[in-house]
Amino acid sequence: MSDIILGLHHITAIAGDARRNLNFYTSVLGLRLLKKTVNFDDPKTYHFYYGDEVGSPGTILTFFPWGEEIVPGRRGPSMATEIGFSVPQGSFDFWLKRFEQHNVTYNKPADKFGERYLTFLDPDGLKLELIESASPDNRQPWEIAEVTEEVAIRGFHNVTLTLNDVKATAEVLTDILGYKQINKHVNRYRFSTDAVENAAIIDMVEVPHEMRGHQAGGTVHHVAFRVENEQILLQFRDKIAASGLEVTEQIDRNYFYSIYFREPGGVLFEIATDNPGFTVDEPLEELGAHLKLPERYEHRREELEQVLPKLD
């Protein structure tokens, strides 16, 4: 480890119904519910974290389920528009059958940069992909009875940003975050870091004349990159500020420390630390079992437990 970006840390998206979201990601996709907490800025809304057994950076997908009143979003420029998960070679037959069984909307498998991928939508319309990675992915997955290790999701493979113009965003990726362009096909640009083996890829799609996307239900809220600790986080904060971009102070998110900035193309980026991790307030075997509240909301526990949707 050193003072570099270590690929993706987590991705956060917006959902509607909390129970539907929880069921899809745990019972259909087979991810582990790592943490059941609340939105720091809106404590009457859950914040769910899903991932592998321990919540390894690069596996963590999180949601703000704002309820059925949330309007559907629209994918488009200035947004992250596709989230790619790594799955084992030869697992698509299993996933196609599973999507049919659970009435999941999907497209036929196709190829991109020499890798097979399977596009599908979650219940809110969030665009997801399963990708048979061309490089080995030896991350240990979370398993459930119906989704075993042989087919289970390993974690992130990539995320796709859609932009009217990729140039300024590419400069942030290369000059600040240490990525390199490794491929291009038509209007899709692929960037990667060699600092980690997995969760290392950022794709950018350039669509000069399309209308900016609308962030609401079924869209990505922000993309978080990974660093080892707070010291390195603050080094990146200085680097971002020196580039002329506005960046927040360091924020304690209970399970990691973060800074946020909006890159020139309009996508909200976060940089988050590995520490302290998800076992800071729950033992490993009980992750996701209890409602965990930020300290500033603990005195409102009884009120919030009455307001938050019942998940049983």
- Domain-located, residue 277: yes
Reported as a pLDDT band with limits 50, 70 and 90, residue 2 is low
Mean pLDDT across the stretch 31-47? 97
In a domain, 1, yes or no: no
Residue 68: the pLDDT is 87
pLDDT of 175-205, one tens digit each?
Answer: 999 999 999 999 999 999 999 999 999 999 9
Residue 91 is assigned to a structural domain of this protein: yes
Give the chain's mean pLDDT.
97
Residue 258 pLDDT: 98
pLDDT per residue over 45-89, tens digit each?
Answer: 999 999 999 999 999 999 999 998 899 999 999 999 999 999 999
Does residue 3 sit within a domain? no
Tell me if 312 is assigned to some domain.
no
Residue 1 clears pLDDT 60, i.e. is over it? no
**For residue 147, is pLDDT > 70?**
yes
137-161 average pLDDT score = 97
In a domain, 103, yes or no: yes
The two beta strands, 60-65 and 8-15, are parallel
Q: What percent of the chain has pLDDT over 90?
A: 97
Q: How far apart are CA 274 and CA 269, in angstroms?
A: 16
In a domain, 59, yes or no: yes
CB 259 within 8 A of CB 233: yes
The CATH number of residue 224's host domain is 3.10.180.10
Domain count of the fold of the chain: 1
244 lies in some domain: yes
Domain holding 49, by residue range, is 8-307
Residue 219 above 70 pLDDT?
A: yes
| pTM: predicted TM-score of the whole model, two decimal places | 0.97
pLDDT at position 3: 85
Q: How far apart are CA 182 and CA 310, in angstroms?
A: 46
